[in-house]
Structures are given as C-alpha cells and as structure tokens.
C-alpha cells in the first residue's frame, strides 16, 4: 500500500493553502501504528489564526445573506468531494489515529451522512416559523464567526458534525484540528476547495494546543464548539468571564458505565460491552470503562467478556483486506500507553483482579504503541483506580464492579463525575424506565453498546461531560440564536394607554 506524506500543506486561509511565512514550529506526525511512517508535516504560526479570523469575518456578510438553500448547495458539493476522496481520507485517519481501515471507513461514511442529516431532519430544529395566531415570526440567526476545535479520536466526524450545521445556518468557521491528527483537516480543506466554497467561509489553522486556547479566547470569535477532555473544557469556560455573549458548546469526556442486571442476555451483553470497551483501542468518549453488574449474572458475564478480550485481534490497522481482520490498533502515542500501563499497575496494587492483564503488545512488522485489551475486577464497589477518579483512562481497559441491586448500580454510576452516556442491559422495560429516571447522563442506551451513538439523536453530556448543548441532530442549535420578530397587525387599534396623553 502506497502511503502519502502530506508534506507541508499549510493552513487553509481565505480560499487557499498557505504555509506560514515565519513558522514558529512544525508538527511532524508519525503514525502510532508504525513509528517509521511520517503521515504529515505541518508548519504553524500564531499569525495564521489572526489571518483565518480576518478572512472569516470578511466573508461572513455575503455568506449569511445567501439563502439557506444556496448554502445547502455548497454543502452538497462538499459532500460530493468527500465521496470522491473517500479512500484517501480513510487511509489518512487510519494512519494518524491507528484505527483499522474498516473503522476509519465508517468515520468517513458518517461525515458524508452528516450532510444529509443536517439538510434533512436537522433543519427542523432551527427552521424559521410563522405563528398562525400572532403577527410574528421565529427566525434563527447565525452567531457570526465560530471556532471548531476537534479531537484526535474522530478527527473528521466530530468537527464535521459542528462545521456542517454552522455553515448551513450562515456562520463562517475557523477549524483547529488536534495537533495529534491534523491530516483529516487537510482533507476537509481539499474537499471544500474542490467544491468551490467561497473564500474565507471555512478556514483551517494547524498547530499545537496553544493555538486552540488562543482561538477560544480571541475577541473576534462569536461561538466555540470544542470536543475534548473535561479538564480543557473547564479551562475554556473559565476563560470566558468577559464574553457573556459568546456561545460555548462543550462535548467532553466520559468515564461511562454499562450496567448489566440479572435478567440480561449474557451473550449479547458480553459482546456489546466488549465492543464498547475495546473498539478504537478504548479511545472513544462513549467507551465503556466500567461494567457494573449484579451478582446473579456476574461470573458468567465476566468469563464471556474475558474470552472475547483474549481473542480480539490487535494488529497493524492498514493490513490488507486479504489478511486476517484486525479489530484494534494502537493507542495514540507513547504517553497514552504509559498512562494506561501505570493505571493498570496501580489497579492491581489496589486489589483489582487482572482477569485479562492487558499490557504491551509487540508486532513483528511494525513498531507502534500497541497494547492488549484488559479486564480487571474491583475488590468492592467503592474502590477506584488510584489517580483515575476524575478523568478518562483512554485505553482498552474494563473495570468490573459487582453490586447487589439495580438501585445500587444506578447510585454507583451517579457517584462519579461523568455524565456522557450509560448502557443498561435488562429484559425489563420497567427497570429501564427506572434507569432513565435515575441516571444523570446525556445519552442512555438500552440493550445496546454505549459506544454506538446515533447521529439522528442529540449527543452530549451533563455534569463534567458537557454543558447542556448537545451535538448530533441538535448541533444547529449551538451555532445559532432564535430571534423573535413581531409584525404589524392588520386593523391595529390606535396606540393609546391610560395616562399617556392625547
């Protein structure tokens, strides 16, 4: 397979790729799956951020004055270029994230599908409306210039999920990808450029995390959509004290639980939980990191998940289709692998039983950041991994907690900081309704994998996992505001009030 290095493609500013005239540094991106594979080289400079925002502000008046159908036509052109470049974008994501090709393909499919969802079902949440019994209208107006800061684990799909609605509703966008996976952003720029999007409407700025921080506080930003860790989300909110008008939508991390009760289907539950724990090497914000299980079904369920974990094929994510299929590639970098291994050592020191120990995994053909799936059973429901109580452990490790009742399971899940997603496995509709009432999460799955969110539903967290501005089908609501318009009534009465005068 021929691998292309995106050699200094530069930022995408005002309708053109531009390399910084005075670069302050350079991102040299090596694949986590093969340290000899240089995926892209990205020079960066803070000045590019100002150029991007100036271009977006200049383009905004003419872009917002297009009709929504005209903007939709531009997005269909972008969608067509995503389709045309599908294989190349898939390869870029697989190389930089370490996802198997089959999984990277589903991400590009989701990017393409987002356009249809936004132009179809998604529009109804921000459609203008005329009130039948009042001379008034509800109009939805764009915020202006919005920033979109993307994560490394879904470098195409997640920022795309904010960008497409933002553009449809008349905003101009500055996108800053993760410094770990910048190539998906470069391919998005190519697709917008090939589609003939007007200059300045969408801009790309590459660089380290400091440029994302600068974007989030820049005075010329009217709205910000951030996907990433809860710690960074808190810092972003803290930095907004002087900008009460800036709309911030935070899509943050999750330390999610799957709850399995005595009446669950053991085989389906085991497969759904194992998928959620180990897909994307455990690096999804919706991953199941905790299994809370009632004792009546704990032993057989743990044994079945352990059997699946031991058989998961870990390997080079770009292996040809003719080879044995790979389910899981590496974690994103050496630091992530070190954090995972240290957490596993700490867990075992704290009394966790290593049913499937995990650990490093070496390939003969490719030197990367590979690990094995792990499964640990907690000594009791109150014990957590030391140092891992208030953050995600982004890796393929599942901790199991045994409890006596559904009520104890719900209370244990609510005890933590995370409020993104939960999955409950039970045959009882009544118990599911109890979970729906009790659990403090933004997404709830019933007999489904926690890592299987639908783009046709709202997606976002509460507590430390978000700020009540979900993406998914609701994404347009985070990049627009509702305007009340009152029109003159027919046969209006004279404007008189008591004591007003003649």
Sign of the Cα pseudo-torsion (447, 451, 457, 462, in order) = positive
Q: Centre a 10 Å sphere on the Cβ of residue 6 and count the other Cβ atoms it contains.
A: 19
Measuring CA to CA, which residue among 288, 340, 285 is closest to residue 465? 285
Catalytic: 285? yes
Q: CB-based contacts of 240: which residues, under 8 Å, 6+ apart?
A: 217, 246, 248
Asked if 371 and 336 count as a contact pair (C-beta separation under 8 A), the reply is no
Question: Which of these is catalytic: 172, 264, 285, 479?
Answer: 285
Q: How far apart are CA 308 and CA 268, in angstroms?
A: 12
Q: How far apart are CA 199 and CA 215, in angstroms?
A: 20
Instruction: Identify the three-state secondary structure at position 486.
Output: strand
Using a CB cutoff of 8 Å and minimum separation of 24, what contacts does 336-340 make? Answer: 336/283, 336/369, 336/394, 336/395, 337/369, 337/371, 337/395, 339/393, 339/394, 339/395, 340/371, 340/393, 340/394, 340/395, 340/397
Q: Please give the C-alpha separations between residue 396 and each of 258, 274, 420, in angstroms, as whole numbers.
A: 15, 9, 18
Length of the chain counted residue by residue: 502
Strand order in the sheet with 480-486: 129-130, 136-142, 480-486
Q: Which two tokens stand for residue 64?
A: 């917002």
Q: How far apart are CA 10 and CA 215, in angstroms?
A: 18
Q: How far apart are CA 386 and CA 130, in angstroms?
A: 56
Q: How far apart are CA 24 and CA 114, in angstroms?
A: 35
**Chain position carrying tokens 């919005």:** 146
Q: How far apart are CA 462 and CA 453, in angstroms?
A: 16
Q: How far apart are CA 261 and CA 321, in angstroms?
A: 38
Catalytic: 24? no
Instruction: Identify the three-state secondary structure at position 18.
Output: strand
Q: How far apart are CA 218 and CA 214, in angstroms?
A: 6
Question: Which of these is catalytic: 96, 103, 251, 402?
Answer: 251
Q: How far apart are CA 329 and CA 326, in angstroms?
A: 7
Q: How far apart are CA 37 and CA 29, in angstroms?
A: 9
Q: Which two tokens stand for residue 38?
A: 């240089």
Phi-psi region of 222 (alpha: psi -120 to 50; beta: other; left: phi over 0): alpha
- Which residues are marked as active site? 251, 285
């Amino acid at each position: 397979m021929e691998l292309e290095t995106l050699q200094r493609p530069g930022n995408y500013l005002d309708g053109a790729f531009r390399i910084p005239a005075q670069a302050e540094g350079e991102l040299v991106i090596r694949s986590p799956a093969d340290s000899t594979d240089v995926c892209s080289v990205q020079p960066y400079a803070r000045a590019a951020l100002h150029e991007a925002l100036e271009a977006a502000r200049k383009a905004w008046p003419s872009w917002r004055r297009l009709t929504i159908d005209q903007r939709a036509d531009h997005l269909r052109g972008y969608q067509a270029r995503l389709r045309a470049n599908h294989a190349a974008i898939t390869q870029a994501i697989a190389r930089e994230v370490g996802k198997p090709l089959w999984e990277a393909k589903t991400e590009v499919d989701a990017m393409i599908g987002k356009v249809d969802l936004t132009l179809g079902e998604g529009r109804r949440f921000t459609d203008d409306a005329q009130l039948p019994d009042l001379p008034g209208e509800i109009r939805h107006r764009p915020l202006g210039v919005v920033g979109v800061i993307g994560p490394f684990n879904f470098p195409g799909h997640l920022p795309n999920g904010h960008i497409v609605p933002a553009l449809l509703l008349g905003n101009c966008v500055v996108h800053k990808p993760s410094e770990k996976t910048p190539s998906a952003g470069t391919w998005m720029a190519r697709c917008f450029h090939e589609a003939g999007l007007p200059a300045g409407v969408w801009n790309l700025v590459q660089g380290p995390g400091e440029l994302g921080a600068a974007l989030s506080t820049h005075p010329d930003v009217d709205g910000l959509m951030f996907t990433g860790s809860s710690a960074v989300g808190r810092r972003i909110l803290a930095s907004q004290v002087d900008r009460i008008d800036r709309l911030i939508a935070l899509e943050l991390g999750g330390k999610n639980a799957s709850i399995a009760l005595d009446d669950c289907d053991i085989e389906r539950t085991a497969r759904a939980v194992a998928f959620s724990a180990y897909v994307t090497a455990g690096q999804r914000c919706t991953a199941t990191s905790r299994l809370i299980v009632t004792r009546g079904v704990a032993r057989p369920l743990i044994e079945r998940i352990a059997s699946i974990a031991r058989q998961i094929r870990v390997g080079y994510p770009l292996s040809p289709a003719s080879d044995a299929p790979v389910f899981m590639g590496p974690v994103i970098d050496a630091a992530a692998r070190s954090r995972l291994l240290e957490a596993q050592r700490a867990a075992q020191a704290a009394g966790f039983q290593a049913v499937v120990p995990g650990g490093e995994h070496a390939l003969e053909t490719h030197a990367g950041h590979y690990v094995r799936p792990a499964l640990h059973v907690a000594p009791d429901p109150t014990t957590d991994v030391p140092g891992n109580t208030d953050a995600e452990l982004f890796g393929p490790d599942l901790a199991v907690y045994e409890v006596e009742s559904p009520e104890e399971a719900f209370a244990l899940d609510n005890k933590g900081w995370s409020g993104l997603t939960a999955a409950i496995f039970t045959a009882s509709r009544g118990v599911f309704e109890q979970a729906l009432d009790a659990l403090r999460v933004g997404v709830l799955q019933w007999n489904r994998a926690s890592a299987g969110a639908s783009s046709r539903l709202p997606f976002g967290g509460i507590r430390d996992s978000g700020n009540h501005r979900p993406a998914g089908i609701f994404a347009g609501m985070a990049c627009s505001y509702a305007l009340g318009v009152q029109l003159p009534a027919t046969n209006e009465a004279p404007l008189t009030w008591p004591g007003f005068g003649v």
